[in-house]
Chain A
Amino acid sequence: MTNTKLLMVTLLGATMLASGAAHSKTLVYCSEGSPEGFDPAPFTAGTTFDASSKPLYNRLVEFKRGTSEVIPGLAESWEVSSDGLEYTFKLRKGVKFQTTDFFTPSRDFNADDVVFSFERQLKKDHPWNQYTAGIAWEYFDGMSMPDLLKSVEKVDDNTVKFVLNRPEAPMIANLAMDFASIMSAEYAAKLEADGKKELLNQQPVGTGPFKFVAYQKDAVIRYAAHEGYWAGKQPIDDLVFAITTDASVRQQKLKAGECHVAPYPNPADLADLKADPNLQVMEQEGLNVGYLAYNSLVAPFDKPEVRKALNMAINKQSILDAVFQGAGKEAKNPIPPTMWSYNTSVNDDPYDPEAAKKMLEAAGVKDLKMKIWAMPVQRPYNPNARRMAELIQSDFSKIGVGVEIVSYEWGEYLKLSKAKDRDGAVLLGWTGDNGDPDNFLAVLLGCDAVGGSNRAQWCNKDFEALVQKAKTVSDKAERTKLYEDAQVVFKREAPWATIAHSVVFMPMSKKVSGYVMDPLGGHWFDGVDLAE
């Protein structure tokens, strides 16, 4: 301490010389974790996207803020050929890339940038396909783009054509996703010439509303407004992400005024936050579902009536109280209510332990013992799987079903729960990627996904037919009808106990205005202003 004091004295001169920084509007966001990198395409975490694709980049098409509706972005318009295989995009003119300490663009955005952004993910022999060790295009591959996408072609400087191998109705929505962010081909060429390709992931350049200033690992990310942003400069001058992994600490900082916006509050703190005169709490239903998936290939869970009986034994209200602390809504369908085609006329299985007991007896099931798998991690659709499993355990014991709770390390859990001969019912959930019902119904319950992301191992002819048909139809009304029917089949067969959809809360300072919650779970700061 004495040493530092001494230093302080000797450096006092320097301190005196310091000029106060010009007054500027700085918005501080207490983010929940560190980004994996600043190139959004190789990653899958929402935290990474909040720090990369959302402030720094744009996509050809964007989700209209606050909805999952697709609107023009860097593409002003597009046309789909009648066979559904060719998508032609007209690009916006005069879009500037950000000028930073490390890069000054010499040209505006054009078709080369689009081709570069996709080809690096599509072509295995592209010089940027493996630009840093151990990179993989998780989302691109996860959305089956390599099978789907035949080529991305430049027609002229302002026109790009995507050619598909088969018609796919959700394609446009896919292009609004984070992995489809448009990078600068010019910047990439410069990095390649300098032999520093890995910097693409560390010092990003995009067309987005904010430009990258600095990242101090696991502590702070700094952005500044992009002066030449095509949609106009942002009302705030600086955007700071203060990385704060602990939820209680985030709330403390928010209350102390150390940050203006802090996501993912503890449900337990909500009442306190809402009561704070300096804070406002926004809320929205998340685009997710938390469920308990039975293994429909293993007796006695192969019988729909057994699954239904168990569903009727679960007291969802008490789960919402104890696990979600009110930050959730009971789920009856496998897709969330904010999604189009949600079937409101489906009736949920009522909570009725007596009837459930009788149904089990009628099905000839006695002294049933089962396992329930509880995830080891917190997820928006299930903030505390352990606690949820304990509650279900005590609910099931009331109808004479003995439950053993098991858990594995997360990677292991995901892997083991895929097995077709898995013993027990699995607690899991899903958060939507692109707002399309296909992204829930086909991915989680389709026949192709058995042994994979279909944790119920459930393959039903009627359901499959409806969902597959909806993939090839581009008329939204017709698709809606198909998906509504699929939800009826789902409820009849009950491969899951649908438990809850989370309600996402977003506490922020009352000084913040213009913030719009994203049903897809992202955090956007363009258009946000800060009162003095």
Chain B
Amino acid sequence: MFQFLLRRIGLIIPTFIGVTIAAFAFIRVLPGDPVELMAGERGVSPERHAALMKQFGYDRPIWEQYLDYFFSALQGDLGNSLVTKKPVWDEFFTLFPATLELSICAIIFAVFIGVPAGIYAATRRGSWPDQAIMGTALVGYSMPIFWWGLLLIILFSGTLGWTPVSGRISLLYFFKPVTGFMLIDSLLSGQKGAFSSAVSHLILPTIVLGTIPLAVVARQTRSAMLEVLSEDYVRTARAKGMSPMRVVGVHALRNAMIPVITTIGLQVGVLLAGAILTETIFSWPGIGKWMVDSIFRRDYPSVQGGLLMIAVIVMTVNLIVDLLYGLVNPRIRHVR
């Protein structure tokens, strides 16, 4: 196991270096001129333009800029945002809890509905509830979530007026962030109604972001269950007269959970991509929206830093999933 761990971590180092090169290179070839953009319709003189390029360090040789970037990044210095002039690292971690909170809620939503639905469908294979569940899951899986979000806003916020339109909590409540998670902070603040306000703000974004993972989890659970249910030991258990509930609940579920957990781990990338759209629609102050804004504003250091941080998160989660997988399923360690 230890060797497997070492080998797996060894693989991550070249990938990490590759990712820094990629994040750096992408941004350096972006067309458009940050100085022009800052000046807007007003424009800048060629002299001032040159001076500003120098001030931002865009006039040095590219490899020098890269090495500088790489070693600063290792120390957690991702440069300063061109727009707010604040460190990108700080900006990222100010906004990250919002995305994390939303993602966790979306995953919980997906798992708590998706797993039971998948199990139920598997045990009733071929019946109309199975077909209905799988049909719905496929619709969810095919959903353009940016459109889905708009529809939900029209219906629940516009027509019915049940949920707030956007934001993380009603503005009536004001407290200093402690954890950055609105659900927890609202409880810690002790203000009456703050928590339920935070919850009501979370509902629609959670549904929108959770829709695709929900569909994937339901489908994956069903097929994993079907596979396990057809295994010999389950048939034996069944033949021995074990109650169906017990068969499903004890034997099948435990084994079927391995691929399901992997699937959930692999949804992190999907979630972060979905966060871009969800946060844009709901004005959710997280990193997805921040990335889109930064791309449009040509805020080079922010896009660079954001790309790098997001890639590192995805890599880390993948590593953890792999390690867990290796832990529960020893065969993996030898195959690789």
Contact = CB atoms under 8 A, between A and B. Distances in A.
B313 interface: no
Interface residues of A, number: 61
A44 B38 contact: yes
B285 A138 contact: no
Given A1-B108, A4-B183, A136-B55, A18 B36 contact: no
A219 B289 CA distance: 12
A216 B285 CA distance: 9
Given A249-B165, A412-B31, A412-B32, A135 B85 contact: yes
Interface stretch (B129-137, B170-178, B247-255): B170-178
Interface string A234-253: 00000010111110010011
Contacts of B298: 409, 411
Contact of A219 (B41, B43, B285): B285
B165 A258 contact: yes
A36 interface: yes
A1 B174 CA distance: 23
B283 A244 contact: yes
B187 A411 contact: no
A14 to B, nearest CB: 4
Interface string A73-107: 00000000000000000000000000000000000
A36 B83 contact: yes
Interface string B81-120: 0111110000100110000000000001000100000000
B6 interface: no
A456 to B, nearest CB: 14
Interface residues of B, number: 63
B165 A243 contact: no
A380 B192 CA distance: 41
A218 interface: yes
A15 interface: yes
A244 B157 CA distance: 15
Contacts of B168: 219
A418 B289 contact: no
Contact of B187 (A8, A243, A252): A8
Contacts, number: 159
A486 interface: no
Given A11-B188, A218-B290, A256-B165, A428 B82 contact: no
B167 interface: yes
A15 B189 CA distance: 8
A451 to B, nearest CB: 9
Contacts of B281: 246
A44 B184 contact: no
Interface string A36-52: 11000010100000000
B42 interface: yes
B48 interface: yes
A214 B309 CA distance: 27
Contacts of B296: 410
B32 A201 contact: no
A398 to B, nearest CB: 30
A446 to B, nearest CB: 13
B257 interface: no
Contacts of B82: 134
A142 interface: yes
B32 A410 contact: yes
Contacts of A430: 41
Contact of B33 (A20, A202, A415): A415
A410 B192 contact: no
Contacts of B177: 216
Contacts of B305: none
Most chain A beta-carbon contacts within 10 A, residue among B36, B52, B188? B36
B39 interface: yes
Contact of A249 (B32, B80, B283): B283
B94 A217 contact: yes
B55 A414 contact: no
B42 A37 contact: no
Task: Across the A-B interface, give the 6 residue pairs with the lowest CB-CB distance, nearest first.
Answer: A411-B37, A218-B285, A411-B32, A18-B190, A219-B285, A252-B165
Given A142-B44, A245-B289, 19 more contacts: A1-B108, A7-B184, A18-B190, A18-B192, A133-B85, A135-B85, A136-B38, A217-B91, A219-B167, A220-B171, A220-B174, A244-B166, A249-B282, A252-B166, A256-B165, A411-B32, A414-B40, A414-B43, A443-B42
22 contacts: A7-B184, A11-B188, A15-B190, A18-B189, A18-B192, A26-B172, A28-B171, A44-B39, A44-B42, A135-B85, A136-B38, A142-B44, A214-B176, A220-B174, A246-B283, A249-B166, A412-B31, A414-B37, A414-B39, A414-B43, A429-B41, A431-B41
